[in-house]
Chain A
Amino acid sequence: MTQSPIDRIARATPAPLSRRIRGLSDRTIAWIFVAPTIVLLLAVNIFPLIWTVRLSFTNFRVNRPNNPVEWVGLENYRRILTDSDIWGTMQVTAHFLIWTIILQVLIGFALAFLINKNFRGNDLWTTIIVFPMMLSPAVVGNFWTFLYQPQIGLFNYAVSYLSCIPPDWLLTCIDPSSFSMIGDVGLAPWAIVIADTWMWTPFVMLICLAGLRSIPDFIYEAAECDRAGKWRQFWTITIPMVLPFLMLAVLFRGIENFKMFDLVVQLTGGGPGSITEVTSINLKREAFEKWRTGYSSAYAVILFVTIFGLASIYVKALNKVKDR
C-alpha cells in the first residue's frame, strides 16, 4: 500500500505504442473534463432557473395547460410584494432563522470550547454528537412528531419530569398531556426551533472546534507572560480568532435554514394554521397545491434573489473580519 508513486511509475512504464501517441493536448483534456459537469449543471440548474424567470412574467398554470398563456409583466411580483400573507411567512422564517442561529451558535461554541479542553475520549464524543446532522431531516422530523405527542411523547414526559424535580422552579408540575408542541399556536414555532437546534448544533460545533484548534498556543503563552487574566484572554484572543469560523458557520446555517423545507414540513406541515409555514412550505403550496405556476415562479425568483443578495453582503462582511 505504501509504495511511493515514483515506484509505481517506474514499474508501469508505458508500452511503445502509447509512447508514440502522446495523447490529447492539455487544452483538449481540460475541456473534455470540464464540459460534462457544465452541461449537466446548465441542463438541470441553469436552464430551469431561466425557465422560472420566464414563467414568472406569465399567468401559466400547470394544471390547465390548454389555457392561453398571457404575458403579465411584473404583475406577479407586484402581487407577491404587497401580499400580507407572504410577509407573514417571511416573519415565520425570520423567527425560525434568528432563533436557530442564536441557539446553535451559543450551544455549538460552548461545546467546542469544552471539547477543546482535550479531555480523554473527546474524539469519540465528538463523533457521537455529530450523528443528528448527518441524518435525513424528513425522517427525523417525522419521528420528532412522536416525541412531541402529548401524554405519550418523550419530550413532553421529559419536560413534565424536569418541572417536578426540586427545587420547584415553576412551583407546579406540568402535566405531560396538558400541552402539545406541534398543536399549539404559541409552542409550534419553538417546536421547529428545538428540533433544528438538536439537529444542527453539531455543525456549528465542528466549525468552532476547527477555529479553536487553529489558535497557536504561543499566543496564550505570550498573554500569560503579560499577566492577562483568563477572562481577558478569552475576549481578546479566543473570540476574535474564532470569529471568522463562527461567521462561516452562520453563513451556512443561514442559507440552509432560509431554504428549510424537509424537517419542518414533516414536523408541523406548516401548521397549526400557517403558524410555522416557512417560505419553502408556502412556496410549495402555491406551486404544487394551488398550481399557480407563474405566481410561484415569481415567488421563487424573489427568494433566490434574497438569499443570494443577503449571502453576498454577508460574505463581504466575512472577508473584512478575516482581513483584520
Chain B
Amino acid sequence: MTRRGLTLTGLSVLVLIAYPWVFSSNYAINLGFLVLFAAYLGQTWNIAGGFAGQTSFGHVVFFGVGAYVSTILQTAYGVNPWIAWLFAALGGALLGWIVGVLSYRAGLKGAYFALITLAVAEVGRIVANSVPITKGGLGILLQADPRPANFQFRDPVWFYYIVLALCLLSLLTAWQLTRTRFGARLAAIRENEDAAQALGIDSLREKVKCLTLSGGLCGAGGTVYVQKYLYIDPSIAFGVDKSVEMLLVSMIGGAGTVLGPLIGSGLLHVVGEVTRDLGNMLPGVSNAQPLSLIVYGALLIAIVAWLPDGLMGLFRKRRKEARRA
C-alpha cells in the first residue's frame, strides 16, 4: 500500500477507536458494533471469496459452528467462555479444512463450489434442528452473568472494542495477503488456476489453507455474537441471511481488497438508513425494509456487472486516472 494509503488507513483506525468517545450513547455504540461486526464477517468471507476467488454461498456455516461450539461448551460442560472461544475458532477452522479438502479434491470450483457450500450450510441447519445437544429448535440461552471473566460485559462498549480488535485483526490478515507469497499464490489461483498450477503452485493445498483460515476467523465471530445477544438457535446460526450479508458486504466494497468489506458494510448501513427514511416519507408505506433489500439486490447486480472490483475498484480507477493526468 502507498504511504498515502497507509496514512488514510491509520487515520480511519484512529477514528474507529475514538468513535465511542464521540458518539457515546449505547445506541450509537451498538450500531458501531453492528457495522464492524458485519465488516469482520465480510472480511472472513473475503479472504476465501475475494482473495482466492472461492465464492461461497454458505459461509454462515462457520459462524454457526463457532457459535454453537462455544455455547454448548459453556452451558453443557462449564468451560470458561474465553477458552470456549478458542475452540469455536478451531471448530470453524476444522470445518473449513474438511469442506476445503472434500470440495477441492473433487475439483469443485466456481458455481459448483458456491452451491456445495450452500448445501453444507443447509445440512448444518437441519442437524442443529434435530439433535438434542443443540436443544434443536428451542435454541440455547446463555445465562446472563456480566463479568469480564465470563466474556460478558455490562457496558456494550467492550463488545465494540472486541469487535474492533477482531476487525483490525482481519484487516491485518487481509493486508498480509497482499504482501506475502501465500497471498500471491492465492491471487494466481484466483486469476487462472490452471496457469498457477502450471507454475508449480499446489492449488489444492493453498485453497484448503485459505478456507481453513477463513473458517476459523468466521467461527470466532460466532462466539462474539452469542456472548452479546445471549441466545442462539438454528435459524440464527445457519440461516442464509448471514451468508448473503457477508457476500454483499465484500462484493460491494470490493472483493479481494483489504478495506472492501469495511467500506461495503458502511455503505450498506447508509443505504439501509436512507431507504428506511424514504419508506417513512412515502405515504401509506408501512413496510420499508423490502425497499432497502431491493436496493441491495440492484447494487449487487450493478457491482458485478460494472464494478467487479467494487467500490475500492472505483477509487483505484480514479487514482490511476489522476496519476496519468
User: Are A and B a genuine interacting pair, yes or no?
Assistant: no
Q: Give A residues with C-beta under 8 Å from B.
A: none
Q: Give B residues with C-beta under 8 Å from A.
A: none
